[in-house]
Amino acid sequence: MLRVVAIEDDARYRSSLEMLLQHSGDFVLVRAFDAADRALAELQEMLARGEVPPWDLILMDLDLPRLGGVECTRRIKELLPAATIVVLTVFEDRAAVLDAICAGADGYLVKNISGDQLIEQLRSVVAGGSPLSAGIARTVLDLVRHFESRGRAHGQADRLDLSDRELDVLRCLVRGLSYKQVASELGISIHTVRNHIRSIYGKLRVRNVAGAVSRAVREGLV
């Protein structure tokens, strides 16, 4: 059972999340916060006591009082790098998407998706994917096209020593595919996918899928 933390200032939405997760069979809501600074304070206290926080998956709103979700995502990733953070918000604009991904978010979903879709997307996180709502996926692809056009205008983007196959894998990650889906699409094993991803992380100097996607988008690599 994956332990979920919600950082969400809307009490009604927090309650609906708790009910949805309870009935999923895969997730349990272990903590809920109405403000990002309170979540950070509790996390810092647990770490100071030498405790391992039971925060497997964090659902992060962006529009929060005092401290925004993007900055909270960045700080949590610094304190707890292994935590998986999925943005769950109403914002779909490019700036919000790119800021969240650059801060370390592992997925970006909008609140208007159905409960079944939300659970399906969260399950994809467990499988190694980076879930993106349909509109968000289009936004990411638009950003990729923008940087590709800019790269063509100013010369071919530096590939940073990525091989053709590594670029293929990176393109799949940008589209939000899970490791299993990448393997199926490229006709390779999941073990080979993991090897390519480890190599991509090393060459791009990132630690997770979100970091790889962020750098790929910003530098027009795909």
Q: Which of the 8 DSSP states describes residue 157?
A: P
Q: Please report whether residue 132 resides in a domain.
A: no
Does 145 lie in the same domain as 116?
Answer: no
DSSP 3-state assignment of 132?
A: strand
pLDDT value, residue 158: 55
Domains: count for the chain: 2
Q: Please report whether residue 133 resides in a domain.
A: no
Residues in the chain: 222
DSSP 3-state assignment of 106?
A: coil
**What is the spatial distance between Cα 158 and Cα 211, in angstroms, rounded to a whole number?**
17
Taking only the tens place, the pLDDT of each residue in 189-211 is 989 998 999 899 888 887 777 67
Q: What is the pTM of this model?
A: 0.67
Taking only the tens place, the pLDDT of each residue in 113-172 is 899 989 988 888 777 776 666 666 666 656 655 555 555 444 444 557 889 899 999 888
**What is the spatial distance between Cα 82 and Cα 201, in angstroms, rounded to a whole number?**
15
Taking only the tens place, the pLDDT of each residue in 38-97 is 999 999 999 999 998 999 999 999 999 999 999 999 899 889 888 889 999 887 777 777
Q: Do residues 106 and 56 lie in contact, with contact meaning Cβ atoms separated by under 8 Å?
A: no
Q: Please report whether residue 63 resides in a domain.
A: yes
- Residue located via tokens 């349990």: 28
Does 29 lie in the same domain as 98?
Answer: yes
**What is the spatial distance between Cα 180 and Cα 13, in angstroms, rounded to a whole number?**
32
